[in-house]
Structure 1
Amino acid sequence: MAAPEDNATAAASALPDALNPLMLSLNENPFPPLPSVQMALSASIGSANRYPEYLPQRLRAMIAAHIGVRDEQVVLGVGATGVIMQVLHAVTCPGDVIAMTSPTFDGYPVFARMARLVPVTVPLDGHGRHDLDALARAAAGARVVVVCRPHNPTGTIETAADIEEFLRSVPADTVVLLDEAYVEFLPPEFRLDAAGLVARYPNLVALRTFSKAYGLAGLRIGYGFCAQPLARKLWTMQLPFGIAITGLVAVAASYEVEAELQQRIRMIANECHYLRMRLGSAGVYSTDSHANFVYLPQRDRYWPQVFDDSGLRVRHYADGGVRITVGDRRSTRAVLAAVRENSAAGAAGAV
């Protein structure tokens, strides 16, 4: 039988490398949690023998105060994915339609299958943007419709006016999931007034997460907010003891160091700009991303051939496109090296 310390060592060795520059497939933050957040999490371990709140009222109130809505408008989940499933369980029946774009966040087709829904997909345009008119037509026969802003996997955004026009055109009994998982990467002038939108559209649920900009993907903390009547219905799906003590502690500590968080976000945004600029210089088109990733549509290259032998872990799509998480400068160099090597091989093959 292995000694306890051997088991602990084996478990620790199985943890992912927080600084691995080649892990670029899941849009994770390339940096570990901020130092003060790590300290708060370490201090919370001493309370691990106690249950968290039966329902996460304190975290709910903390988030509501931070984003400027009433406590009763906020619901919590195991990541934004947990909130999505709460919405689908609360408002749909098997056989209902869910409308979404293609491609979209990988989770939505999975969630549709889990909830036994019928997915109806609307293709993006050639620049990775929504066709909101077509999506609104699809929403007319759907129980739920999904809009990601910034969009996953392309990083594109629609204007506030276009989103408002879309919301006006969706039937009042169709629930709109506005997925804002990457909203923190948007400059203030590009952000929606989501609190104002949910006040005007009682069928709208805005979704957010602490997995991306906050760098807390491993803790699985997400939330949604909406009009109070719908939120009351969603709160009935709140899993008792479902949000760990570490979640409350990490969010509280993160809110205390917003200036440090914003500095990290700027670093990632600058690296994204640099990567896109260098790709463009190499003749590679990328969509106009406003998130922590870039998307390369299949145009003149077969992207699996470019990246599969490079050691890089990137996300491939059925349409031939590839999504690459923005990491640190080492990650950027690895991406550019793979592109250059493929270009050189192609040129040699053409001789």
Structure 2
Amino acid sequence: MLHFPSANTAAHRPSARDVAKLGELLDDDVWAFSNCRVDAPGRPVAEVDWFFYNVRHGTLMVSEWKGFPQRVASATDTGTPWRLDGGLNVPNPIEQVSRQLDAVRAVLRGTILPHHFPTFDPQQLLLMQSVYSPQVDDGTTIERIRWGKVYGSLPHLAGFISTATSKSPLTLPDDGARLGLATALCALFRTSFPADVKAKLRSPKRGGDTDVVRRISAIHRHIAALHTELADLIVVAAGSAGTAQPPTAAEAPRAKVSKSQALTEQQRMHDHLARSFQGVNSSRDDAAKALEKAWRSVLNDPLLHGDTGISISLFGSVGTPLVKQRHGSLPKVLGMQLRKWCLLQAKAFGMKPLDIPGKPSNIRVR
């Protein structure tokens, strides 16, 4: 994520923790302007908490962040207040972000589009809107919101920002125009332009040559295979080190079976991921789909359902090399932590994932 904080030293600032979390979840194709001050002709000055622009997908979002003294019991659409635990009613933030969105749309149409997107029809400009509140949880009743979404989790918000597409994407013709656009947006929103962010935008992006992508993908698979071979050698070495005290006749078969199962689990996990990533890595969406396909295969593989269940951490360690160099960490690709994603996927596949006592990284499915 490229972050452009408010240039006003007296302005409210997002917490460093939230900024760091967004930085983990969003890549540098997402520009984030915080605590923007928007002057739209004929409208009151709008104070915008966050404006997100995904330059790769051409999507834009105005996001209102709200903290409440109690948990949000009910989040409704415009026209009625939100209700907190205890019965307290609070102003509806959906209505607030809608007013902000109107102001942002007006200034973008009037100042940014004519200079940086001269062929784009201003009437086709689409902006998304959202409300984020950590007091929204799984127990909150969220009414169907006509224009926008409500989030109580930063990974869920970041996942939507990363993957959402638009019928009328606002994309630049080339990467060289990004620096000028970022400068104009900083001036418009009264945000600063950090030196490290400017340096990133000045550096030319590497081309996405298909042959290069395939070669990188092949290298990742080879590295994963080497890791498997090393794991085998470690197990063999560990077995050799114990020859001074050979196992009894009753213990030897058990040790042999344990080694075989460990090797098989690692190898089979690698095989499922390698097959799913065959020809993949051209985009982060494709990588996410490949992980979904691989995880489904793992869940349906009876040989990976041992006494200790299915190892999510092993799936992550084998899958990470396939996405890390091009797309970053697995949580970035998936939009949330790996364990949570794996549980949600299992449920989506019609399975019931169960925790295993003493094995926090393992699950069993029914």
Give the TM bin, normalised by the shorter chain.
under 0.3
Task: State TM-score, norm by structure 2.
Answer: 0.26
Task: State TM-score, norm by structure 1.
Answer: 0.27
Greater relative contact order structure (CA < 8 Å, 6+ sep): 1
